[in-house]
Amino acid sequence: MAFGKFLKDNLVLITGILLPVLIVVFFLAASMLPRFTGEPPQYDFLFVSEDYHNNLFAPVRFNFTTDENGRITAIVRKLPETHYGASHYPVFYRYYAAENTARPFHASYFRELIIRDGEKLKETKEVEIPDFLKSLKIDNSETAPDGYRLEFSHRSYNRSPASELFFMGSSRSRRGYRLVKDGNPLEFEVVTPGGHRAYYYSRNINFIGWITAEDTSSGGEAE
């Protein structure tokens, strides 16, 4: 009886305490639901971004593509003097489906290549692909064989689920990539070359493709 009276007398207070907790639980459950209701991704994939974290600029720019045989090619182009400083060193990222995480894949290779052979690279030409990329067979289709695709997400959100529900608080913009299958989004973590989590990372990426085969004897493991 006393407990019932306490609830009645303090209903507004109790509601104010429990409601934000329930909202947080709801949003966490909604974000994790695709992992448990659908088949998880089966394929790793590669993408290239620029290393913005060391504030170093490259005098050349690489353009990475794949041919009809699933082989990665790299064309290097010298930057005009007026554009020098506008390009950072390229870094390959590999998404590991088993971990739902993307990490730098031999992050220092192209930076060291440019530093070592910079003068030789200052003309437009195809350059030799390293073994860790030669070992991979790539499918550059928009959709992976298991039905997932990579999608850019740009949406606004508020500082907390409660403020989002009641349209209160300061709105911010969240940009990033996610995997989508059958309309269900799956967020994944990206780790920068410095080992930090990149929750808000640049749209400036070059999707290379899905890894459909790998020769591990060729040095395909990441650094």
pLDDT in tens, 79-101: 776 655 567 788 899 999 999 99
Per-residue confidence (pLDDT) for residue 92, from 0 to 100: 92
The residue among 72 and 6 whose pLDDT is bigger is 72
Phi first, then psi: give them for residue 25, nearest 5 degrees: -60, -40
Give dist(CA 198, CA 4) in Å, integer. 48
Per-residue confidence (pLDDT) for residue 76, from 0 to 100: 87
Do 149 and 104 form a contact (C-beta atoms < 8 A)?
A: no
Give dist(CA 8, CA 12) in Å, integer. 9
pLDDT greater than 50 at residue 163: no
Give me the chain's average pLDDT, please. Answer: 76
The closest alpha carbon to 98, from 37, 44, 177, belongs to 44
pLDDT in tens, 165-216: 333 344 444 557 889 999 888 988 888 777 666 654 555 788 999 999 998 7
Per-residue confidence (pLDDT) for residue 35, from 0 to 100: 52
pLDDT greater than 80 at residue 65: yes
Per-residue confidence (pLDDT) for residue 36, from 0 to 100: 47
Per-residue confidence (pLDDT) for residue 214, from 0 to 100: 92
The closest alpha carbon to 71, from 1, 2, 139, belongs to 139
Q: What is the pTM of this model?
A: 0.70
- Bridge partners of 70, per DSSP, are none
